Structure 1
Amino acid sequence: MITDLIVLFSLVSLVRGITSAPTVKLDSAIVYGTVNDSLTKFLGIPFAKPPARFTAAELVAPYRGTVDARKYGFLCPQQQVSPPETGIDEITAIINGTPELRVAPGVESEDCLTINIIRPAFTSVKGRLPVVVWIHGGAYQIGDTASYDEMGSKLVKRSISLRKPMIYVSTNFRLSAYGFLGGQEIFQEGNGNLGLRDQRLALKWVNRYINAFGGDKTKVTLWGQSSGSISTGLQIFSNGGDNEGLFRAVFMMSGSPLPIGNITKGNGQTGYDGLVADTGCSGSNDTLTCLRSLPFPVLKAAVDRTQNLFSYQSLALLWHPSVDGVFMENNTQTLLPQGKFANVPIVSGTCDDEGTLFGLSSLNITTEEQFRQYISSVWLPRIPASELEQLWSLYPSNSASGSPFDTGEKNALTPQFKRVSAFIGDSIQHGPRRFLLQEASKRTKVWSYLTKRAKNTTGIGAYHGSDLVLGVADDNLIHFVSDLDPNTGVGVYWPPYISESPRLYTFPEVGRPLITLDTYRASEINYLTNLSLAHPFVL
């Protein structure tokens, strides 16, 4: 009897909790959210039908009945990562406290394609607020949306205080091999770049349904950081540069479109073949069907054994976007000069010491010979040795020249650490950002920033992600989402970036932002860019 009463009481409490919650109507369904202080949240809403493994997802069927949107959905399967042991407590705390560098807590499921909305509580359907869609980072291997709940909530509250209220949207998408498996077999089915296509599908959901939440589907800005920023950059190239009216601007933090290779070559096929071999599917007549039929724990164990962002290979990733003939028709370095990208306003910025966190994965590199072997075999295997001679002098072993930059002999965790970090940062972040802006500024309005705010961080300086952690550009983002201009009306004017005068909105170590020129390490970055252009990926 007592047990029955407890169950009945729990059911009554659940019903009361739902019926007193804020609601929206999607198709013929009522969606129940939560209200907290000045915010209303609708969380974990499925935006796609449960996707078949290694297959493109489809937009969810019309909603019916009720949708309980009071908590975040399942995690998309994460890849196990192993943070490096540095012996420096400050660095360990940063890695453990940064969502894009650690496996997210929670329950994983391959049915994970959900979307979340955080809006001002006073929003009405007639309000039509601008919308920012957040794409999380994590090297395409890890990440989720729940870990950024505090960030999204803080941003919406700040937008209210600035009298530029907006709606924050975040979305899950498939990661690692689950979302970026390559190979001839995947190519033949047209199922490449599933993680990017999940993002695109989420944008189509926003276009269809955000008005019901008081958003304006014509005022959507994509916002990403790290691999999430690279993803937002790649979205402007998809579909021949036709953004389908899904977004009107892009705000990119620590990530620009990288050169990408064909899905059937290089790591694309290597990753596929390795996964087939490690799961025992090699003897199958149809290896892709075999991979699809594996119990999830078996597949996950094999994926977890592949290289991750803290492996020796660092950001020379195994699972990543590629030219697949469906989502990406060609290498970004080819499409960009041709103007085959969405003509939307762009903000793209970086931290001064982008490479240091990823240089931690190669602390065992301590000699000149090891450095040269690392660069030539892991990062630039397609480049003839004769063309790398200049690199060794442009990135010298002298610690004072490395990253963290402008810190002298300090922060030399090993004799080669600052050298490796400088190379990684310029290769993956600073060089691609500069190339993007130099080309895009010829056709659309762009702005760029550089932050040195965390320069005094032991070992890693103004590290990758420090701009997001410190919220240095939050107000600029809010103004950009609202007005398509990152200027806040306070302090120095942030001018557009033009190739003849590439001006940066620079956050110094201390003090207010100032304007500097984007000419730092010109010889090094020009060399790396020209090397990449001279040896494009074979398509």
Structure 2
Amino acid sequence: MTTRLSLALTAIQIALIAIYFQQPLAEFLNPRPTVIDSKRGITYIGSRSSHGAVEHFQNIFYAEEPTGPRRFAPPVPTNPQRGSVIDATQSGAWCPQGTGDILPFTSRVTNISENCLSLRIAKPTGTRGDAKLPVIVWIHGGGHILNSASDILYEPDGLVKHALAKGRPVIYVGINYRLGLFGFATSTTLIERKETNVGLRDQRAGLHWIRDNIEAFGGNPNQVTVIGQSVGAADIGLQLVAYGGEEQVPFQQALMMSGAIGTIFNTQPDLVASNTAAIAQQVGCVTQDGHSQNLQTLECLRKISFETLTNLSVAAARAARPLFGEGFFYPTIDNDFIQDRPSQLIRAGKLTKGIPVIASWVTNDGAWYAPSSTSTDEEVLGTFGLWLQNLSESTNKKLLELYPQEDFTHMVRPKIDGPTSPQYYRAAQMSRDIWFTCPVLDFTWQYVQHGGVKPSHVRLYEFNQTRYAPVFEEMGVPMWRVSHLSDIPYLFNIDHLGGGADNSEVHRALAEDFSSRIIQYAYGALPGVENSDGEPGFWPPAYSDDMPEQSHISVPSQGPKSMSIQLFGGPYGSGPVSVFKDAERYFEASGEAANALYWEKLYSRCEFINGEQFRAEAGV
């Protein structure tokens, strides 16, 4: 009786204390995660995941609200007063973009605002401030026109939990940055004022915040691995050639998923300046003398409501570049952050050195970019004609020769895909190579050749498995197969991917393998170096350390004679495949995986796409 009375009194006492401090009882008993930055005198209040293993700190601003005179201007770092308590319990607004649904397995866009320059941080529960854990930073894709670090597809719990289970805990940070007109508007005046490419400058400001503040969350600012996908990967490449390579990047290594600097077409500012001027014309910001790029126009644009500018710019982008509007507002040469065509910068040795790189593509990365109805040569060329408007007749003719229709007849699956022509798969493969595969091969090879890193510090992979197959079938596009985005759920080790995706054990096993390798990489180990800790099998370097180095960077490289590509998933299983320039040597390799990579004809196709003529016409 006495024991029961004591327990009752204790419960009453706890409840009274909670009421006194104006806290809910559940919160008093299970307090929210707190991080105290003693150097700056700032307290961050976070939340805990339902399973309790991961603490989240969201909507942490690294830059002031970019409105009024700060719209279209470089980010201004935040400087909270000492004693500030920052509520980081809820996700923040997405940067201005079109609202609504994107894909069944991604978030619905509902909350947008210019006040979006924020970070989301996840860490193992109870991580001490002096833990000095490796940091993984995520730069999302979305064609520089949509998306956010808060998208459900990038939920970090699975990655953070898996790293902890492997005995290699990490800190995760996602960066939001300005998109579309707000992130990449350009004009003569903006170039003169060095107020261009602010989306890229946002990314760098976010990385600087991480460098200066992540230690309070238990992270090591000197052990940062930045990961980007699609244009997020391309932006990592642009960060490496930014300012002509004269400013050191605030990260130590990189993973570039389906993207490199050659993914950004038409980098001369003319097209984006014209698109910016068109929006200015629509809102009445063009002066009577017709000048659309002067200071008066810029000051006018800074006074227009963000809703108006968002609606007009998103509508214009999607009309010109359906479905999502990629390639309408994007990074361009400004003689400051980007000083020349990116492929020329790296060939001139104007790059940040010493950053190990993993770079990649997925097997059907270009599947989205070709309509399933594609059935003629003209329609094949038209699938990328919207983005590459300056390709010459001789270039188009060469592309058709390099990708003969008969190479793709074996891909037709009438019972699954319906009446899909081999021309569709031909167009999809061209788009894959032009957007993703060939730029990745060019960037990594040129980075090695021009003193970026040793060959042994570059890894390549092709991902050949997807969890989206049932989703694509439901959407009526089963021919997309292992499409763009396919490797993301494996990186994040997501147990239950939504939208009707495949969550079976075979996919979860590959996710554990793939994410384990990236965690190992975040710890500074070259991926796949087999050891007694039960790490995954060997993943060889892309290029050989004994290859001859160029003595003069002005001498064009002839390309590697061989390269190693790690294959993940698919019918052939995971493992490294050696690819040789001498086509006959493919037949010496054993296994179906080698034959599949031979079928891709990476050497002949990418030598042309990465050649001077194509790069000049593509403006990369």
Deviations 1:466-485 (A, max 9, x none): 11123443111111111242
Aligned pair in 2 of structure 1 residues 309, 174: CA closer, same or farther (>3 Å)?
farther
- Which letter maps to 1:386? S
| Alignment partner of 1:39 is 2:80 | no
Does the Cα contact within 8 Å between 2:98 and 2:109 map onto a contact in 1? no
- 1:89-488 mapped onto 2 (5 Å cutoff): 95-98=103-106, 104-148=108-152, 151-242=155-246, 244=248, 246-258=250-262, 265-283=269-287, 286-308=296-318, 311-312=321-322, 317-343=327-353, 344-359=355-370, 362-363=371-372, 365-372=374-381, 375=384, 377-398=385-406, 400-401=407-408, 407-408=411-412, 411=417, 414-415=420-421, 416-442=423-449, 443=451, 444=453, 445-454=457-466, 457=469, 458-471=478-491, 472=511, 473-487=514-528
- Which letter maps to 1:35? R
Does the Cα contact within 8 Å between 2:461 and 2:566 map onto a contact in 1? yes
| Alignment partner of 1:58 is 2:119 | no
**RMSD between superposed Cα atoms in Å:** 3.0
Does the Cα contact within 8 Å between 2:263 and 2:436 map onto a contact in 1? no
Q: Name whichever of 179-188 and 195-204 sits farther off.
A: 179-188
Does the Cα contact within 8 Å between 1:281 and 1:287 map onto a contact in 2? yes
Number of positions where the alignment pairs a residue of Structure 1 with one of Structure 2? 510
1:48 pairs with one of 54, 63, 85: 63
- Alpha-carbon offset, residue 147 of structure 1: 1.7
SS of the equivalent of 1:297 reads: helix
Q: Name whichever of 274-283 and 255-264 sits farther off.
A: 255-264
Q: Distance in 1 between matches of 2:316 and 2:373?
A: 20
Q: Distance in 1 between matches of 2:350 and 2:319?
A: 30
Does the Cα contact within 8 Å between 2:314 and 2:325 map onto a contact in 1? no
SS of the equivalent of 1:108 reads: coil
- Alpha-carbon offset, residue 417 of structure 1: 2.1
Aligned pair in 2 of structure 1 residues 148, 169: CA closer, same or farther (>3 Å)?
farther
Q: Name whichever of 272-281 and 115-124 sits farther off.
A: 272-281
Does the Cα contact within 8 Å between 2:380 and 2:424 map onto a contact in 1? no
Q: Distance in 2 between matches of 1:81 and 1:309?
A: 17
1:70 pairs with one of 81, 89, 93: 89
Does the Cα contact within 8 Å between 2:137 and 2:173 map onto a contact in 1? yes
Deviations 1:161-208 (A, max 9, x none): 111111000111111111011232321221111111101000110111
Q: Distance in 1 between matches of 2:131 and 2:230?
A: 32
Aligned pair in 2 of structure 1 residues 80, 422: CA closer, same or farther (>3 Å)?
farther
| Alignment partner of 1:13 is 2:13 | no
Aligned pair in 2 of structure 1 residues 113, 379: CA closer, same or farther (>3 Å)?
closer
Q: Distance in 1 between matches of 2:516 and 2:202?
A: 29
- Which letter maps to 1:419? R
Q: Name whichever of 165-174 and 8-17 sits farther off.
A: 8-17
- Which letter maps to 1:69? A
Q: Distance in 1 between matches of 2:237 and 2:619?
A: 21
Aligned pair in 2 of structure 1 residues 24, 194: CA closer, same or farther (>3 Å)?
same
| Alignment partner of 1:25 is 2:25 | no
Q: Name whichever of 298-307 and 525-534 sits farther off.
A: 525-534
Does the Cα contact within 8 Å between 1:441 and 1:497 map onto a contact in 2? no
Structure 2's unaligned 5+ residue stretches are 1-17, 470-477, 492-510, 544-559, 581-599
- Alpha-carbon offset, residue 370 of structure 1: 3.7
What is aligned with 2:498?
Answer: none
- The structure that has the greater radius of gyration is 2
- Which letter maps to 2:62? F
Q: Distance in 2 between matches of 1:23 and 1:318?
A: 42
Q: Distance in 2 between matches of 1:38 and 1:82?
A: 30
- Alpha-carbon offset, residue 277 of structure 1: 2.3
- Alpha-carbon offset, residue 265 of structure 1: 3.5
**How high is the TM-score relative to the length of structure 1?**
0.86
- Alpha-carbon offset, residue 354 of structure 1: 0.6
Q: Distance in 1 between matches of 2:266 and 2:380?
A: 28
How many percent of aligned residue pairs carry the same amino acid? 24
Q: Distance in 2 between matches of 1:129 and 1:174?
A: 28
Q: Distance in 2 between matches of 1:537 and 1:168?
A: 35
**How high is the TM-score relative to the length of structure 2?**
0.76
Aligned pair in 2 of structure 1 residues 78, 11: CA closer, same or farther (>3 Å)?
farther
- Alpha-carbon offset, residue 125 of structure 1: 1.6
Q: Distance in 2 between matches of 1:257 and 1:61?
A: 33
Q: Name whichever of 192-201 and 280-289 sits farther off.
A: 280-289
| Alignment partner of 1:514 is 2:575 | yes
Q: Distance in 2 between matches of 1:372 and 1:133?
A: 37
Aligned pair in 2 of structure 1 residues 534, 205: CA closer, same or farther (>3 Å)?
closer
SS of the equivalent of 1:441 reads: helix
Deviations 1:3-41 (A, max 9, x none): xxxxx9899236984993222223122211123312222
